[in-house]
Structure 1
């Protein structure tokens, strides 16, 4: 009888732990997502001019969909990788997009941002 009770207690304890433990999150944002959302910004970043409305909509969509820390860190890493192939002027234009679009981006758009610190 004691053995059955201890097994029942253990099983109940494990079930409670499983229910109460926070779910594991995985990044939903991929670099393909980032590229797709920010593709309308490409002409502005490359040559300047006016920021297209579609660019701001894409940036807003990206930030809205980056709901977890992992999503934001992934988005940061993708943008950082794109910045490594850009000129200083292009990086400056890309970095100006959040202000021009009125979007709060949770990381600095630059080549030297530490994406592991993005929360």
Structure 2
């Protein structure tokens, strides 16, 4: 068997035997970075969110694909929302107004146990 064939077989088998972890891969620093452009809008804004905010919301939505990521993002969002006073109606509509789907709204009262 040639070396090339051996490497191909090892590569293929490796993809099946690599352990899959259910731990979250998203960090609070990523969530904070994505939502930072939304803070002034959520605390004192009105109307539609700014484009930079929506870009961050869309990035966050794309990064939260697993249940573990959604729960981790929820905890970070809840913590961020508790650190500032957000307008509830803006927080609840943020993802929708940005054309994205987040696992939770940007509210300090969100129940992260139900996220999945």
- Pairing partner for 1:81 from 72, 75, 79: 79
Structure 2's unaligned 5+ residue stretches are 1-15
TM-score (structure 1 length as normaliser): 0.71
Q: What is the aligned length?
A: 100
TM-score (structure 2 length as normaliser): 0.73
Are the equivalent residues in 2 in contact too, given 1:83–1:91 (CA < 8 A)? no
Q: 4+ residue stretches of structure 1 with deviation over 6 A?
A: none
1:22 CA displacement = 6.2
- In the alignment, the residues of structure 2 paired with residue 75 and residue 91 of structure 1 have an alpha-carbon distance, to the nearest angstrom, of 18
Match of 1:96 in 2: 93
- In the alignment, the residues of structure 1 paired with residue 77 and residue 44 of structure 2 have an alpha-carbon distance, to the nearest angstrom, of 18
Are the equivalent residues in 2 in contact too, given 1:76–1:107 (CA < 8 A)? yes
Structure with greater Cα Rg: 1
- Pairing partner for 2:106 from 87, 104, 109: 109
> Over the residues paired in the alignment, what is the CA RMSD in angstroms?
2.2
- In the alignment, the residues of structure 1 paired with residue 36 and residue 83 of structure 2 have an alpha-carbon distance, to the nearest angstrom, of 15
- Pairing partner for 1:24 from 21, 24, 31: 21
1:8-40 per-residue CA deviation (whole Å, 9 max, x = no partner) reads xxxxxxxxxx94x96222211111001101111
Structure 1's unaligned 5+ residue stretches are 1-17
